[in-house]
Structure 1
């Protein structure tokens, strides 16, 4: 590594911690010399003495250099791996404090925007490309879950026959999708295969009657209502609902309809595969009240392997508890 490369790297670090160009030049020179007087640094950096003094004062305050005793006064650089590391840890601690404070700030922001600027609480997004881009953006910015209503008509000529690639990607990252499909979708060709793809990746899907609209809710922060008239072949506008009583009402509406909707049936021929021999034995052991440890010992598995198989069975059967696994497996005649 040559001196020019080292200079650039040091400069990048010092810019990140807030030092100016003259401070960076002085620190760079001091690193190369390890110690120097003010006049030596002024000569090497080609800067006036007052500028050198200001830069050295900053470096000392940041813990990157110290003053030596004796005359002439010399400045000694702190080893970069300790001086800069300590400085970076301090900056990281401050950033963590800011992140912790973001939630409080957001609560204050939401409280202020609910009534301060009512005209800005509903945003109209126009244009086909803009609507599609915003839909992708809303999903990508979701941290916990996306909730939605799905119903015809669909803009795409193929209707609802293709999975949402953004959803599949986010499901892999742990973002939840809870979707209520209007029962009218049951008549659409290809719908079941599409939804089953999402369910296999973790989507929670239910069927409801007479959903009032299409809707997508990102966490508790945004809601998107697409506007597509019957017979239209493209989405050209959407409402974007920001934090407000209207958003609260949409969230409450979704949760109320979710409790009244029914899970998508998973016992469609060819969709739920029969259990393997080991899975069937595991189901019998669970139904008998065996613990994970006892079931693992019987099957020659670790407890973690037992729990992994139980999770897969829950996902495959569309249930959420071990009791429901046993009930559903009994109904299917697996045990």
Structure 2
């Protein structure tokens, strides 16, 4: 007997090809033909049944009922291919629909659980008012809680963001929320890196916030990412897309001290055409400071929030100005000339 069709067709081996040729020449194979087929093809009974099953799975033969007996008629490869595509395609579409339903359900469950995060954290804060450091595992959970916390902000938000530019989508998403906060009279102090002044989208975003009352300053380097709300809750990065939510008073006090130290050393964000020009000298000095410390080009670029290509262009210009042949020599010469004295870098963590 021929077994039920499996999900995957068997490979077309030599025995299968031999049997397929016989079926084409004789139009069909009947149950009574099997001994003759074995003799003509040289296949034993087991090999013949295996090849016949493979042809059936590949749709190269089709079963027909001949008054109580079974026959297998040869089908052209083109017709077999069309039948396979139609049958398996329908099966795949059903599976895709089922998979889509499962994914949608899983996403709903994920969102429902994420919505409980604020409840969990608020209850935890009540039960353990000083043991309040929690980890949020992913961006969605972070966004849920951060939105709720910011919406309930009553006085001040402090933001420190690393990078020479911010994604346009993130800027568009944040702008209405930030403007609404400022309209409610919430103080907003933001620390960016000097290199944000070179990015048009970030510069335009900053200009709108400043017009609405935000204060923005820049430094060569800032704390990679930090948001402090009302001086009582902080969000800092943890893993890929996650965050630590900090309420512990002593740790909050430390983070505030770091922010205010950087704020005092920072330069107010200029939004006009000369915004980038105002910090170009400081940026080059920062590069010299890091070269003098022995950092490689990629480390310098990462810390200053610029691309490796831009960093290397600045380094090349500095080497020309100093009349040196190597990065190490540039750092040494700059230090000798007193070009690496930078109060912020001396205090940087």
Q: Normalising by the residue count of structure 1, what TM-score does the alignment of the two structures yield? A: 0.40
User: Which of structures 1 and 2 has the bigger CA Rg?
Assistant: 2
Q: Normalising by the residue count of structure 2, what TM-score does the alignment of the two structures yield? A: 0.39
